[in-house]
Structures are given as structure tokens and as C-alpha cells.
Amino acid sequence: MAQMNMLQAILSAQKCMLERDDNVMIFGQDVGYFGGVFRATEGLQAEFGAQRVFDTPISENGIIATAIGMSINGMRPVAEIQFSDYIYPAFDQIASEASRIRYRSGGEYSTNITIRTPCGGGIRGGQTHSQSPEGIFTHISGIKVVMPSNPYDAKGLLISSIESNDPVLFFEPKRLYNGPFYGDPNAPSIGWDTHEKGEVPEGHYSIPLAEAEITRTGEELTIITYGTMVHVVETAVKQTGVDAEIIDLRCLSPIDYDTIINSVNKTGRCLVAHEATKVGGFGAEILSIIQENCFWKLRAPIERVTGWDIPYPHAFEWEYFPVPKRVGKAITRIMEA
């Protein structure tokens, strides 16, 4: 075991896979010599050579299209999109191509690409360095969508993503790179050494995709969340003192139905929290799953706490972000219903 922050864990997963599988190739904007704008690929080019780890032209469309092509010719590409806010030029290659190659060829062809991309706000990045576009991709049949909330999961899930023979979109909540974030931007930052999930095995291990994790067991209320909000929700639960069960989905598509359904059937109450905007967001899907499967066990209306239905405004980052206070208010409403 070693102490790692989330970036080190992501770096370690990539290193591990470069060592184990000669077909793994890692590329994207600034990932080669420089090691990525967040340093998530630091040192990989020096260690594994530029044939395997390299910079690409600034074309998200080109990055994903060529990744697909490489995979068809036997490689296992791991492509970085520098910010998930910049993934849209690649949308056609993801939504119409990567996601459907297996289906449309009757299973003859398939692509194994992994797309890593930082997401989420909280770093004063303004509207083009803060987005959480996961809901746009969970709507697509044929691409797996993963979002870890801590270093241990990040490494295990990234290894599974790279090993998967299906395309995977791996979102990295950038606010969590250097430490857990409990929702107070004015609190001094703390590192992952304060969190048990900052303990990460140095070697290979994997966490199956589509297995949610119950990060806190409880009886009164189920809170379903993922990414940065896992920690924010934890704060709200502490502040309200409610005996909540917190589910960190970790993988949004495919989704772990059993963990969600069993928990909500047990508690009879449910809150869904995500940083992304509300309308058509992934929370709406979770609510539907619950109403389809747990309706007769519900004791209160299900609520959603999300980012507002607007772009991430630079000056109002913390009015936009679903802070613990907003989560707490929703918890209280549900408990008093």
C-alpha cells in the first residue's frame, strides 16, 4: 500500500497497464513530454517511450477517431480529453461510432478505447473548465460511463476501464485530484492522506464496473450520488445528524440496480445529488429507477440536489455548486415529509 492522491492513483493505473499490456497507448493534448496539464501522465513518456505515450494535435475529434482506428488494429488506447468541457468536437465519434461499432457490425468489430477526462467545478475554472456532462453520455447505449470519488476507486476503476473490451468514458472530478472536498471552499485544503481511500495498492487490482459502493450505511434515508458530491453529501449528513445510507455509484452506465433498489426499499426515503445541471440530468434516471422499483416502499417524495440549470458562472461558483447547506435542506424536507 502507498499514500496516493487521485492524480497519483490515475498515473499509477496507467503505468500499471503500460507495463502489463504492450498494446496500451496513451495520448492526448500535452500528455506526452509535459505529462498533462494536471500531470496525470507525468513521466510516462520518459519511461515507456514516445511510441506509446505522446502528444496529439488539438483535435478532440481526431483524438477519439484515431483511438478507435488504433483499437481496431489491435491496440488498447487510453485517450485524454484535456477538459470534459472540450469533449464535444468528439461527440460524433463517441455517440455514433465508438458506441455502435460492436452493434452495427453484428459483433464482428468492437472498440476498447478508454477516454479519460477531468470534469466538475470548484477550481474557479469558469464555464469552460467546470462542466459535468456525464448525463449527455449516459443517454447513449454502448459507452460505459465511470466517475470515481477517491484515489483507491480511481485506480481500480481505471484499470477495469482500460481492460474492458468496451469503450469507457472515465470522468475525473478535478476538485478531488489533490484531496477530498467536503463542500466548504473557505476551509483549508486537506490531502488524501486524511482519508482511508488515499491508501492505494502499488500493483495491479481492479474494481468491477457497475458495482456501486455504500460509503455509509444507514436506516432512515438513502442518498445516491457520485464524484465530488460523495464528500459534500457526507458533510450534510453529519450536519443534519440523520442516519443516512450513502451510495457512491462509481459507474453510471451500466448502473448497479440492486444496490440502489435494496437500499431505498430499506429506508423508504431517497435523495439524489449531483453537480451537473438538473433538467435531463442523470438524477432523473435514478429517480425513475426508484419509482419503477420502490414506489410502494416510499415514505416521502424523492428529491434532487443538483447544479442549477445554467452554465457554470465564474463569479458565482459557490452559489452554483450544490453546497452542504442545500443538501442539508433537502434532507430535512424529506425527513419532515
Partner 1 sequence: MTKHQSSRQNNLHIPEPKFRPGQTNDFAHLKIPNVDEAPKPAIDCNPHNIRDLAYGLIRVLDDEGQAGGAWNINITPDILRQGLKDMLLTRLFDDRMQLLHRTGKISFYMKCTGEEAISVAHSLALKNSDMVFPSYRNQGILISRGYPLLDMMCQCLSNSRDNCKGRQLPIMYSWKAGNFFTISGNLATQFSQAVGWAMAEARKGGNRVCTTFVGDGSTAEIDFHSALTFAATFNPPVILNIVNNQWAISSNQVVAGGERTTFAARGIGVGLPSLRVDGNDFLAVYAASKWAADRARAGYGATLIEHFTYRVAPHSTSDDPSAYRPADEDKNWPLGDPLERLKTHLINIDEWSEAQHEQLAEQYTAEIKAEYKQAESYGTLTSGARPDVSSMFEDIFEEITPNRIRQRQELGL
Ligand X SMILES: Cc1ncc(C[n+]2csc(CCOP(=O)(O)OP(=O)(O)O)c2C)c(N)n1
Tell which one of 76, 129, 155, 197 touches partner 1 (CB under 8 A): 129
> Does 131 participate in binding ligand X (rule CB under 6 A)?
no
> Does 58 participate in binding ligand X (rule CB under 6 A)?
yes
Residue by residue, what is the 3-state secondary structure of 204-271? Answer: CCCCCCCCCEEEECCCCEEEEECCCHHHHHHHHHHHHCCCEEEEECCEEECCCHHHHHHHHHHHCCEE
- Distance from CA of residue 46 to its chain's centroid? 28
> Does 59 participate in binding partner 1 (rule CB under 8 A)?
yes
> Does 125 participate in binding partner 1 (rule CB under 8 A)?
yes
- Distance from CA of residue 248 to its chain's centroid? 10
> Does 51 participate in binding partner 1 (rule CB under 8 A)?
yes
Based on CB atoms, which residue is closest to ligand X, 57 or 74?
57
Q: What residues are annotated to the active site?
A: 129
The CA-atom distances, in angstroms, between 278 and each of 42, 49, 50, 267 are 35, 43, 42, 24
> Does 86 participate in binding ligand X (rule CB under 6 A)?
yes
Tell which one of 5, 12, 14, 29 touches ligand X (CB under 6 A): 29
Backbone angles phi, psi at 77, to 5 degrees: -75, 140
Whether residue 39 contacts residue 184, with contact meaning beta carbons closer than 8 Å, is answered with no
Tell me the one-letter amino acid at 250: R
Tell which one of 110, 239, 308, 335 touches partner 1 (CB under 8 A): 308
> Does 311 participate in binding partner 1 (rule CB under 8 A)?
yes
Alpha helices in 145-224 (DSSP H): 151-163
- 316-322, long-range: CB < 8 A, 24+ apart: 317/121, 317/122, 317/124, 317/130, 317/185, 318/185, 320/121, 321/121, 321/122, 321/183, 321/275, 322/229, 322/232, 322/273, 322/274, 322/275
41 vs 32: CA distance, rounded Å: 7
170 vs 156: CA distance, rounded Å: 12
308 vs 325: CA distance, rounded Å: 15
Burial bucket for residue 22 (CB in 10 Å: 0-12, 13-18, 19+): exposed
Tell which one of 19, 96, 109, 124 touches partner 1 (CB under 8 A): 124
Q: How far is the CB of 311 from ligand X (least distance, A)?
A: 15
Segment interacting with partner 1, rule: CB under 8 A, options 9-17, 83-91, 200-208, 240-248: 83-91
Segment interacting with ligand X, rule: CB under 6 A, options 81-89, 145-153, 299-307, 316-324: 81-89
Based on CB atoms, which residue is closest to ligand X, 83 or 181?
83
Tell which one of 56, 71, 82, 150 touches ligand X (CB under 6 A): 82
Residue nearest to ligand X (CB): 86
> Does 117 participate in binding ligand X (rule CB under 6 A)?
no
- What is the x/- site pattern for partner 1, positions 143-182, by CB under 8 A? ----------------------------------------
> Does 274 participate in binding partner 1 (rule CB under 8 A)?
no
- What is the x/- site pattern for partner 1, positions 203-222, by CB under 8 A? --------------------
Q: How far is the CB of 151 from partner 1 (least distance, A)?
A: 23
Based on CB atoms, which residue is closest to partner 1, 218 or 311?
311
